[in-house]
A and B are shown apart, each in its own frame.
Chain A
Amino acid sequence: MSNPIVTIKNLSVTYPNGHHALEDVSVNLKSGSICGLVGVNGAGKSTLFKAMMGFVKPTAGNVSIDGMSVRNALKKNLVSYVPQTEEVDWDFPVLVEDVVMMGRYGHMGFLRRPSKTDHDAVAQALERVNMSEYKKRQIGELSGGQRKRIFVARALAQGGNIILLDEPFTGVDIKTEDSLIDLFQSLVAEGRLILVATHNLGSVPSFCDEVILINKTLLAYGSVETTFTQDNLSKAFGGMLRHHQLIGADLHDDEDARGVTVLTDDERPLVLYGEEGGKKIVRTPKRKKADKT
C-alpha cells in the first residue's frame, strides 16, 4: 500500500453565490493516521472535503494528493468518501449490495458491468463491516449504524487509501460509535489515512491522532495532545459550547488546585482535568479494542 500524502496549500473556496466558505487553509496530512476535522456547523468541514474530492473548485490555492492533482488522484481511485447521513436519499431504489458495488464503478469498463473481482471485493467489504446478511435490503430499511457501515463498505470496496468521513457519528448510539471507531483504527493500521469531520468533541481525543480545527480559516493543526486544548477549542467554538468548570476548593477537600472542565455541545462531552482548571489537557486513554459482540 502506498503512503498517501495530502498537501493542502493556501486553499480558499468561495461558492458561486459569493459565500466565502474557506480562506487560506494549509495542512499536510500523512498516511497511517486518523485526523479529526473539527469545527462548528458551517465552519467549512464539508467544503474542505468537497475540495479534496474535486467537487468544488478552489478559488485560490490547491490540493494535491500523492503529488498528483486531485483529478488524477481521483482517476486512480485513491480517495473514498462516506457522506453525511442527511445528504443521502434513503428512499432511493438501491439495495445494500448495489451501493457497495458503486465503489467499484471506477474500476469497471464503459458499460459498468461487474466482473468477478468486483463481486468479490463487494462481498469482502460487506463481510468486513458485518453487513453480509443485509445485502438484499433496500438502504432505507437499515438502522442508523448499519447505514453508516454500508457506506464505509463502499469505501473499502473502492480500495482508496484516503477515506473521508463526514459526520459519521451523528444519529448513531455510543455502542455503534465505538464499533465504528474500532473499524477506523483497524483501517488506519493498514496504512490508510482517515479524515473524520465531526463536531462531536468528546470522542476526538480517544481515537484521533491529529486534529484540524477550522472556522472558515485554519485555527490550529497538530497532534491531539498539543492542539486539542481548551484555548483552541474556545477559538473554534466561541460561545457555542456549554462550559462547566469545577476548580480547587469546589472540587477537592484539600489544597489541590487542579480542576475539571467539561465542554459539550450536544453530544458526548469533553472532560479536561488538570492545572489551571483543566486548561492543560490530560488525554483520555486510547480506547482499547471493544469485545466483539
Chain B
Amino acid sequence: MIDTLLALITEPLAHEFMQRALLVSILIGTVCSIFSCFLVLKGWSLMGDAVSHAVLPGLALAFVIGIPLSIGAFIAGLFCALATGYIKDNSRVKEDAVMGIVFSGLFALGLVMLTKIETDVHLLHVLFGNILGISSQDVIEAGTIAILCSLIMLIKRRDFMLYCFDPAHASVIGLRVRFLHFGLLILLALTIVSSLKAAGIILVISMLIAPGATGFMLTKSFDRMLIIAMSVSIFSCITGTLMSFHLDVATAPLIVVIQAALFIMAVFVGRQTQGMKEVSYGT
C-alpha cells in the first residue's frame, strides 16, 4: 500500500523533465499565492487579468528586437499597469472600463503582431504554458525571480497589507505610499513574468487569484490567510504536477482545476463558519 503510494510520487520523478516541472511549479505556486493575498484584498483581480494579457505584445516585440522575452514581457506588463492608473487619474472613465480597453487593446495588438511576424513562440504555449518542456535555464530564470519576489513580499508584508487596508493611514505614519503602490505593480509584473513559461498568461490569472481568495474565505487574520494561500497553492502544484503525469493530461490546467476546486470547497466551509459567527454575535 505504502509502496504503491510512494511509487505514485517516485515514478514521475524518475524523469528529469518532471523534476524540473515540479520544482518550477512549486516556485511559481509560492510567489503567485503570496501575491494573490494582496491582489484579493486590494481588489486588483482585474488588474492581474490586465497585466498578464498585456504581456503578449511585449513578448512579440522582444522577439523582433532580439532581447530576452521576459524583459519585453515585464516592460509591457508594467506599461499596462501604469497606463491604466494614468488614464484613470486623468479622465472621468471608471477604472474597470479603462483596464478593459487597455488590456484587450494590448492583447489584440500582441495577437496581430504574432500572426504577422515569424517567431518560434508558440501561441498555445504563451497562453497556457508548457511546464513539461521547460529547460534548466528557464527554471533558473523563473526561480530567481520567484524567490526574490516572494522574499520581498514576505519581509515587507505588513507594509503592503497596511497599504491595501488603509493607504491614508499608511501615509499618515510616514510610509511612502507611492513607493508601495508602484512596488506592488512591479511585483505583479515580475510574478507574471516568472510564471509565463510554466503557466502561460491565461492560467496565471487563476493562480494569482484562487489561493488568496481561498485563504480569505477561511480565516479572519492576515498572516493566517497568507499561510493558507501558500499551503493551498503549493499542495495544488505538487498534486497537480504528479497527477498530470499519471493521468496523462495537461499539467498547468490540472493545477488550476485543483485550486479552483479547493476554493469552491472553502466557499462552503467558509459559509458555515460565517453562519456560526452570526449566531454567536453579541454586542
Binding site for B on A (CB under 8 A): 16-17, 50, 53-55, 71, 74-77, 79-81, 83, 87-89, 92-95, 98, 102-103, 105-106, 111-112, 138, 141, 143, 154, 158
Contacts and interface: CB of A to CB of B under 8 A. Distances in A.
Contacts of A77: 173-174
A94 B225 CA distance: 10
B245 interface: no
A79 B171 CA distance: 10
Contacts of A111: 155, 158
A53 to B, nearest CB: 5
Contact of B175 (A81, A83, A103, A105): A105
A112 B158 contact: yes
A154 B165 CA distance: 14
Given A80-B172, A98-B222, 16 more contacts: A17-B90, A54-B171, A54-B172, A55-B171, A74-B174, A87-B168, A93-B216, A93-B225, A94-B221, A98-B221, A102-B173, A105-B158, A105-B175, A106-B173, A111-B158, A141-B281
B16 interface: no
Contacts of A106: 173-175
Given A95-B220, A98-B222, A143-B283, A112 B159 contact: yes
Nearest to B92: A17
B173 A141 contact: no
Contact of A102 (B41, B169, B177, B277): B169
Chain B interface residue bracket vs A: 20 to 34
B93 to A, nearest CB: 10
Interface in B183-226: 216, 219-222, 224-225
A17 B172 CA distance: 24
B172 A81 contact: yes
B164 to A, nearest CB: 8
A16 B173 contact: no
* B-side interface mostly: helix
Interface of B: 41, 89-92, 155, 158-159, 162, 164-169, 171-175, 177, 216, 219-222, 224-225, 277, 281, 283
Contacts, number: 82
B168 A83 contact: yes
Nearest to A108: B158
Contacts of B173: 74, 77, 102-103, 105-106, 158
B222 A93 contact: yes
A55 B173 CA distance: 11
Contacts of B220: 93-95, 138
Contact of B222 (A83, A94, A154, A158): A94
B129 to A, nearest CB: 30
19 contacts: A17-B89, A53-B168, A53-B171, A54-B172, A71-B174, A74-B172, A75-B174, A81-B168, A83-B168, A83-B169, A88-B166, A93-B41, A93-B219, A93-B225, A94-B220, A94-B221, A102-B166, A105-B173, A106-B173
